[in-house]
Structure 1
Amino acid sequence: MSLTRTRWRLGLTATALLVASTVLSGPAPASAAADVTDYAITVDPKGSGAKIDDTMYGVFFEDINRAADGGLYAELVQNRSFEYSTADNNSYTPLTSWAVSGTAKAVNDDGRLNARNRTYLSLDGGSSVTNSGYNNGISVESGKAYDFSVRARADAASAVTVTLQDSEGTLAEARRVTVRGGWAKYRATFTATRSSTGGRLTVAAADPVALDMISLLPRDTYQGHGLRKDLAEKIAALHPGFVRFPGGCLVNTGSMRGYDEASGYQRKRSYQWKDTIGPVEQRATNSNFWGYNQSYGLGYYEYFQFAEDIGAMPLPVVPALVTGCGQNKATDDDALLKRHIQDTLDLIEFANGPVTSEWGKKRAQMGHPKPFHLTHLEVGNEENLPNEFFARFQQFRAAIEAKYPDVTVISNAGPDDSGTTFDTAWKLNKDANVDMVDEHYYNSPQWFLQNNDRYDAYDRNGPKVFLGEYASGGNTFKNALSEAAYMTGLERNADVVKLASYAPLLANEDYVQWRPDMIWFNNHASWGSADYEVQKLFMSNVGDRVVPSSATTTPSLSAPISGAVGLSTWATTAAYDDVKVTGADGTTLLSDDFSGDASQWTHTGTGSWSLQDGQYVQTDEAATNTMVQAGDPAWHDYDLQVKATKKSGKEGFLVAFGVKDTGNYYWWNLGGWNNTTSAVEQAVDGGKSTLISKAGSIETGRAYDIDIKVRGRQVTLYLDGQEWGSFTDDRPAEPFRQVVTRDAKSGDLIVKVVNAQSADARTAIDLGGATVGRKAAVTTLQAAPDAVNSETATAVAPVRSTFAGVADRFTYTFPANSVTFLRIKRK
């Protein structure tokens, strides 16, 4: 997971317009000529396009948005082992999520449960502790069984009473256990007498007792393997070809050293697989990069097991000793590097080794003597230091290929779709003949509609692409449509793009660090987003080979870039002066030296602007997107000149042009991404995408001369009189995209069409002489562009029908704002 676009991801909250989709039993009737656009699709049934692997589409799991503890991992007790600490989160204590009645204290001494589970609870007689769960309460369902367990010890026999209740009273009959002697595991089972989402688990002691690992798990979990059933079933229903795990930013952030059992293991560590296997009470806990703790109850063994349960290829990611996600540090410790390389070799042995091997034996002891058939493994995640990363990656790769030549070792291209890091990484990977490169990007819907042909020009003999993370910045149907349009290009280029996964997978609506997300949930329900429905439709109808086809398209953009101008900052204070906008004919459109007032400027963002010493200054260092704007949205073909000085803060400054409104503009982001990169970003309806970027930083206290020349669709940028870069933004956001594939088993032609516009698309389809049946099975996703799915309403859902008008040449009208799959039988 990338932090490079956190600013717009966290800022986007789609307005939910729950609009019911229109049910169509065939071609949509044209309500008026103006509402229909004509297209043509030509298919070459005798041609042979790219082969599509069974593993083409998969899922990416990262413990973000409480996706693991409180999510896919079915444990209902939060902080069950009292290991929360202020070292992890300033608001944490060992009793976080616990309420105490009487006397209880967290203890870390020689009487602990084990070296990795260091803190336990000492509970006096007559005292109790109550846990509130992860999601504003523990959810139970009437008639369902829930298994309680606790590790406990007592110097003398102590009666422990366990109750499950909510504000209205008892949820299940109380259970009692008697604790005697040293640490041992005690069990009980509750059967819920009624349903509740606000349950509380209370453990009360009649006499002094020590407690640890207090657990409550539903008896009914997915395949009996401890995963929350509704979430696992929704993932399984996608029929993913692979599962990429465990991240994401949590893989390569924090300390790489692991725990130190003698002095207390280091916190805020990178995710290291050996911490996560074995008995759960002996697994290390860790501070998650996303601001909360991980119990590792969902560990590498469970990830492998889940992938096997849903018929998917496991694809783990290991750290390469170069941090990412804004940290950007390389670890120069040869012994530590060798240890991580050996850990990776041990991981492959854990997955594939015989039961007679050291790590294969550990797998067997956990209950899985058969190998997990690991074939792909990724080293590193979104490193923004490509040279440092690749030097270390090569050592991992050499060691893995020497011992396990059948395992594909995957590299990566950094955190963005373009720019200096991306270009450098790709050159290193290509020169070294790496098998596969992981690309990540999160862009606006417009970017996805504009870049369907991204992989058309990739080298067919170079490294293959793993598109490990992508999304369009929201969960409305408009976002899903743009992603569907883009996926037709992924399939067309399936000889280059071998694997692809939308990201992230899960989000707990009560703990959101990131949006958008594919599947949403709370403590009692889950629902698939519009993006989920698109992914499911594509994954369930992949086909085995692309059938060559072509379609009419939209002409390139010709109208000039137009809009007002703007100034902004991000987590920075900055001063601006001598703003001048000059038309191409030399006419002065705007001139402001801030010697008077700032009346020409409208404040549309956050922050605090004021005139100081003849400059316009933004003084709130914590504020983000502090935009002020001036001018006419109709301006075009102009020069924007301004002096900018960073005064303090994390980043540089932002100069905007082509400003239409608060969600639609371009800006030159100088010193962005924690003052490591400069880029031109385009915002469309609030979602941003990068048009050009370069590494670079901005100095505090130095005045910079900025000059932006806008001519038609071309923009040239100058920094201190030197050309910094240029771009031409003339790609249309093509609303009509298609791809055709063949299903070898059924013989079906699968015509997949995305119509991401408000007009119906009346389409002449020429099957090139193919002999076909008269009927096609139709699956349609159609809704209003702003429609979203929620717990209580499914605005975006597939509608299945039959179309009886198929022939060698026929016409089909694809509804406005729709994704349509036609499965056509070949005779």
Structure 2
Amino acid sequence: MHRLFTLASLSGLLRIAQTLTLNVATSGGNASSPILYGLLFEDVYHSGDGGLYSELIQNRAFQGTVVNTNDGAAVPPFQTLQYWHTSGSDTLNLDNEAPLLTSALPWQMRVDVAEGATGNTGFWNEGYWGMNITTATRYAANFYLRGAYKGDILCAFWSNTTNSMLGSTTFTVDQTEADGWVPYAQTFTTTDSAVDEKNTFHLDFDGASTAGTSLRFQMISVFQQTYQNSNNGLRIDLAQAVNEIGGKYLRMPGGNNLEGLSAPYQWKWNATIGPIIDRPGRPGTWGYVNTDGLGLLEMMQWCLDMGLETILAVWDGEYLNGGILSEADLQFYVDDALNELEFLLGPSTSTYGALRASLGYPDPFTINYVEIGNEDFLNGGIPSYIDYRFNMFYTAIKNAYPDMKIISSIWVGYFSTPPPVGVIQDLHDYLSVDDMVSKFNGYDNSDRSWPVLVGEYAAIYDAEHVSPNQLDNPTLQSATSEAIYFLGLERNADFIVGISHGALIKSLHDEPDNVAMMKHTPNEIVRSYSYYVAKLFATNYGSETVAVTGDQDYGPLYWAATKNDAGTYFVKVVNYDGAAETSVTVVIPGKTNAGTLITVSGPGTYATNVLGDVTSVWTETAVANEAGRYTFTLSGSYICAVLVA
């Protein structure tokens, strides 16, 4: 039986040159989860609005911006014109005078033009701390206008750095007040690329012909060209970076953003579908208003575009402030979850399937996993979850969809009477680096009756950052500790369903001070050490486990292996604070082809990737095969390696 050393017991051995020989079995493995490495998405720290969602305009429909809270309870956001500014002889005001564009958007921006105005007047938007303007993509400008105006409206991108116009499109308008709300939409390209992200979007019209009058605007939207050109879709560079991780599932829509701060602000699937002018948005969980532009169908399209399995979470009656619905009040939401599933899975002849078809998706989606709630172990949620909430949803969903795999958001050990065999338990591990390493053999002897989804993980503390002061960014050490955690999951991938990082994307302008796989500005992305380690493992993973025998105990070297149906082996070795040089020999009987060694390393224990200074090193080198033996050297006290042979 392998023995797991503590770091302290290894302190005298760490800097002695190491050698390791691994003998890889060629038969007798267990089938591995085909979706072991996945993705979690929730709109957190502007990962959606202002991030993956390709909308450039912030506060585009005057739905509010900052969520105000009082003793942990959400209150309706104050409607503001934040991020909008006048640029001429006009003033900007919020207005809810009828007729409204839609009942979902009860406020509009009234632009009052001064008496005697001449020349151009108008207004501009800051975007989400700037905008990415480049000649390499198209832009789609849209707005709704109410009021009497005959003339042109110039829509243009401006660089604040160079004080120059980067590109524009002109709308020709001829309407009266009696015409009500008139939509305008045009696609255009820019003449110049911006030198940085400090760019704004301007709308200008003739002041003289509107002097002393008012024009009302609503849903002023500018989309940059989207990933796979999907409608209302994803920012290209961020989506490409997400796709490159190699994840096999998308767990959505979160996360704490599913639950809502308090009643009635949970995520509501039917408020996130249809035209964006019919989506009211809501106070999000993470301090800002969600437009819900990146809604249910957009996330399903994301799954289609990247070939991802969907793990769908449904709201189960608990709010983040601890508010919990009674058993008597819960049935409505059980029925609502069934309606959501019919919307996604039902034939186009069904009530909600027909609604889906009317929105451009005649064919049902495929969903095999449904999670009941999120983190119901928090805020006093356990008693009601095990007493009635889990069972009400489980029974209803299983009756309608007998083959659906159901996920509990709490550990099955919390149940006084265990849930049915086969229920998947979602466990979340936000740990110190030492605790991550200690989890290497944590699942070796687990009961296989209830599989595990590690729906959220991250190494967030080290010796210098202890609770509550977590790491600002993943380090070489923290990402390497996550790699050891991965090895433990791969060794047990017969019942580990999947794993996904707890923070896929965060905005550097919103939350620079805790870990994420990626952080972004309007025009740049920082891929962390955790990103590269996850990519290394996810893109080099087989369909069955393979037994590996080492000539030493685990620690500071750790290993595991898988192979695929084509006979390719993926032998993974992690050095965690070991010798600076390690000679490794991998023996795979019968193999005759050369191999490839892929590594992730860095210059020091606490090295990080930050904007303008990426220190992680990804290498790929050929490894010769001598009678089934592959020998290579790992350089670095912290290094993650995969031999593909």
**TM superposition score category, shorter chain reference:** 0.7 to 0.9
Q: 2:187 aligns with which of 189, 192, 200?
A: 189
Q: How does 1:171-320 map to 2 (within 5 A)?
A: 171-173=166-168, 175-178=170-173, 180=175, 181-196=179-194, 197-206=197-206, 207=210, 208-225=214-231, 226-257=233-264, 269-320=265-316
Aligned pair partner of 1:404 in 391, 398, 401: 401
In angstroms, what is the RMSD of aligned CA positions?
2.4
Cα offsets for 1:232-276 (capped at 9, x unmatched)? 11111122110011111111133444xxxxxxxxxxx01111110
1:469 matched to 2:456? The reply is yes
CA contact (8 A) 2:143 2:221 kept: yes
The residue identity in structure 2 corresponding to 1:409 is: I
- Is 1:823 paired with 2:640? no
Is the aligned partner of 1:97 residue 2:94?
no
Whether the 8 Å CA contact 1:84–1:293 is kept in 2: the answer is yes
Deviations 1:193-221 (A, max 9, x none): 22222222122344322110001111354
| Residue identity (%) | 27
| Matching residue of 2:494 | 495
* AA partner of residue 451 (structure 1): K
Which of 738, 741, 758 matches 2:559?
738
Give me the whole-angstrom Cα distance separating, in 2, the residues matched to 1:249 and 1:382: 8
Report the CA distance shift for 1:109/1:254 in structure 2 as closer, same or farther (over 3 A). Answer: farther
Distance 1:786 1:122, change over 3 A: same
Distance 1:435 1:514 in 2: 36
Name the amino acid aligned to 1:496.
F
SS in 1 for 2:571: strand
The answer to whether the 8 Å contact 1:736/1:753 transfers is yes
Deviation of the 1:765 alpha carbon: 4.2
Greater CA drift, 469-478 or 216-225: 216-225
Name the amino acid aligned to 1:795: T
| CA distances 1:352-405 after superposition (whole Å, capped 9, x unpaired) | 111111222222222221222111111111112212123201100100010111
Structure 1 counterpart of 2:322, from 324, 328, 346: 328
Cα deviation for residue 430 of structure 1 reads 3.3
C-alpha spacing 1:35/1:368, structure 2 compared with 1 (3 Å)? same
1:154 to 1:51, Cα distance in 2 relative to 1, 3 A: same
Asked whether the equivalents of residues 583 and 633 of structure 2 are also in contact (C-alpha less than 8 Å), the reply is yes
Instruction: State the alpha-carbon separation in 2 of the partners of residues 312 and 765 from structure 1.
Output: 36
How far apart are the structure 1 equivalents of 2:273 and 2:68?
22
Q: Which structure has the higher relative contact order (CA within 8 Å, separation 6+)?
A: 2
Task: Judge conservation of contact 1:158–1:179 (CA < 8 Å) in 2.
Answer: yes
Quick one: which amino acid aligns to residue 260 of structure 2? T
- The aligned residue for residue 792 of structure 1 is 612
Partner of 1:512: 511
Shift of 1:183: 1.2
Q: Are the equivalent residues in 1 in contact too, given 2:171–2:184 (CA < 8 A)?
A: no
Q: CA deviation at 1:124?
A: 2.2
Q: Is contact 2:158–2:201 with CA below 8 Å preserved after alignment?
A: yes
Which shifted more, 499-508 or 183-192? 183-192
Alpha-carbon offset, residue 141 of structure 1: 0.8
Q: Structure 1's 176 and 434: CA in aligned 2 closer, same or farther, altered over 3 A?
A: same
Deviation at 1:552, TM superposition (A): 5.4
Distance in 1 of aligned mates of 2:27 and 2:128: 56
Alignment-mate amino acid for residue 440 of structure 2: N
Which residue identity lines up with residue 170 of structure 1 in the other structure?
Answer: M
Equivalent residues in 2 for 1:35-54, closer than 5 Å: 35-48=16-29, 50-54=30-34
CA distance in 1: counterparts of 2:15 and 2:63, whole angstroms: 64
Of residues 742, 759, 780, the one that matches 2:599 is 780
Letter of the 1:491 partner, please give it: E
Mapped contact 2:591–2:628 kept (Cα < 8 A): yes
SS for the counterpart of 1:57 is coil
CA deviation string 1:454-492 (max 9, x = no partner): 1112102x2110000001014111111111111011000
Does the aligned pair in 2 maintain the 1:64–1:514 contact within 8 Å? no
Cα–Cα, structure 1 residues 430 and 548, in superposed 2: closer, same or farther, change >3 Å? farther
- Secondary structure of residue in 2 paired with 1:124: strand
**Cα pair 1:386 1:424 within 8 Å, conserved:** no
Query: CA shift at 1:184, angstroms?
Result: 2.2
Structure number with larger C-alpha Rg? 1
Confirm or deny: 8 A CA contact 1:239 1:310 kept in the other structure.
no
Are 1:161 and 2:145 an aligned pair? no
1:387 aligns with 2:394: no
Separation in 1, partners of 2:141, 2:167? 12
**Correspondence for 1:546:** 545
Q: Does 2:435 match 1:447?
A: yes
Supply the AA of the counterpart residue of 2:104.
Answer: R
- Secondary structure in structure 2 of the residue aligned to 1:821: strand
Cα gap change, 1:154 to 1:736, in 2 (>3 Å):
same
Equivalent residue number for residue 348 of structure 2 = 355
Inter-partner Cα distance in structure 2 for 1:761 and 1:40: 14
Structure 1 residues 450 and 313: CA distance shift in structure 2, 3 A: same
Q: Which amino acid aligns with 2:404?
A: V
2-structure distance, mates of 1:143, 1:520: 22
Question: Quick check: 2:260–2:284 contact (8 Å CA) kept in 1?
Answer: no
For residues 802 and 811 of structure 1, the distance between their equivalents in structure 2, rounded to whole angstroms, comes to: 11
Tell me, yes or no, if the aligned pair for 1:121 and 1:212 is still in contact at 8 Å.
yes
Give the CA deviation at 1:95. 0.2
Alignment TM-score, normalising by the size of structure 2: 0.86
1:145 and 2:132 correspond: no
Once the two structures are superposed, residues 146-187 of structure 1 have per-residue CA deviations (whole angstroms, 9 ceiling, x without a partner) of 111101121464653333213312122452331521112112
Aligned to 2:123: 129
Q: Distance in 1 between matches of 2:629 and 2:155?
A: 71
CA contact (8 A) 2:54 2:225 kept: no
Match of 2:469 in 1: none
| Aligned-pair CA distance for 1:511 | 0.8
Give the unaligned 5+ runs of structure 2. Answer: 1-12, 70-74, 461-472
8 Å CA contact 1:376–1:409 kept in 2: the answer is: yes
CA distance in 2 between partners of 1:543 and 1:157 (Å): 64
Give 1:309 deviation, angstroms.
0.6
Structure 1: unaligned runs, 5 residues or longer: 1-31, 258-268, 414-421, 556-733
| In structure 2, C-alpha distance between the alignment counterparts of 1:476 and 1:428, rounded to whole Å | 40
Measure how far apart 1:498 and its partner are: 1.2
Report the AA paired with residue 479 of structure 2.
A
Aligned length: 587
785-794 or 277-286: bigger deviation: 785-794
Deviations 1:393-444 (A, max 9, x none): 110010001011122121122xxxxxxxx5752x457344352010002001
Moved more, 241-250 or 784-793: 784-793
Query: Which deviations, in whole Å up to 9, do the C-alpha atoms of 1:653-708 show, x marking residues without a partner?
Result: xxxxxxxxxxxxxxxxxxxxxxxxxxxxxxxxxxxxxxxxxxxxxxxxxxxxxxxx
C-alpha contact 1:533 1:797 (8 A) present in aligned 2: no
Q: Does 1:438 align with 2:426?
A: yes
Bigger mean CA deviation after superposition, 34-43 or 815-824:
34-43
Change (3 A) 1:764 1:291: closer
- Higher helix share goes to which structure? 2
1:79: Cα distance to partner? 0.3
Query: 3-state DSSP class of the match of 1:141?
Result: coil
Distance 1:806 1:387, change over 3 A: farther
Residue number in structure 2 paired with 1:14:
none
User: Could you tell which deviates more after superposition, 215-224 or 294-303?
Assistant: 215-224
Paired amino acid for 1:254:
L
Q: Does 1:749 align with 2:569?
A: yes
Compute the displacement of 1:316 (Å): 1.7
